[in-house]
Amino acid sequence: MNNESTLQQVHLHIEGMTCAACSARIEKAVGKMDGVRQISVNLTMGRAALLIHPGDTTSEHIVQRIEQLGYTAKPLDQGEKKQSGITALGVKLALSALLTVPLLWAMVRHYEFTSGIWIPELFCSRGFSGYWRRRYSLSSALPSIFRPIKR
């Protein structure tokens, strides 16, 4: 039996999973491999965390097994693991904030507390706020409802 101190932690990025059955299939198939002590697949993040015995298996063997199942996998290094999630969230946050401003302004511009805020005349016109209210409210809801789940 291998010593617990010889366990190696491996993180993989997995693409192609669409449901919980996909992640369960990967966990079951890879969990049966020699040298894999523990596996945890996160469907929403598209990641897998494994504890392996380096003498019994390698991350390349695990990647090959996942690819045999019909998914794509690649090892993550420590910096890439942290940075990819932060970058994607930051871009989504900035884009969401930018697209929310016209809709928010259309809703609150008539309140008294907004009278002291300088806003360019273009944004104050009825045509502008009506345009954004009609276009933006429907167009912002549809992608979130009908977009394919791919992360």
- Torsional sign, CA 12, 13, 18, 19: positive
Give the DSSP letter string of 128-145: HHHHHHHHHHHHHHHHHH
pLDDT at residue 87, as a whole number = 76
- Sorted by where each starts, the structural domains of the chain and their CATH numbers stand as 4-76 (3.30.70.100), 91-146 (no CATH)
pLDDT at residue 130, as a whole number = 59
Per mean pLDDT, which range of 8-12, 27-31, 44-48, 141-145 is the poorest? 141-145
pTM score, whole prediction: 0.52
pLDDT tens digits for range 64-73: 999 999 999 9
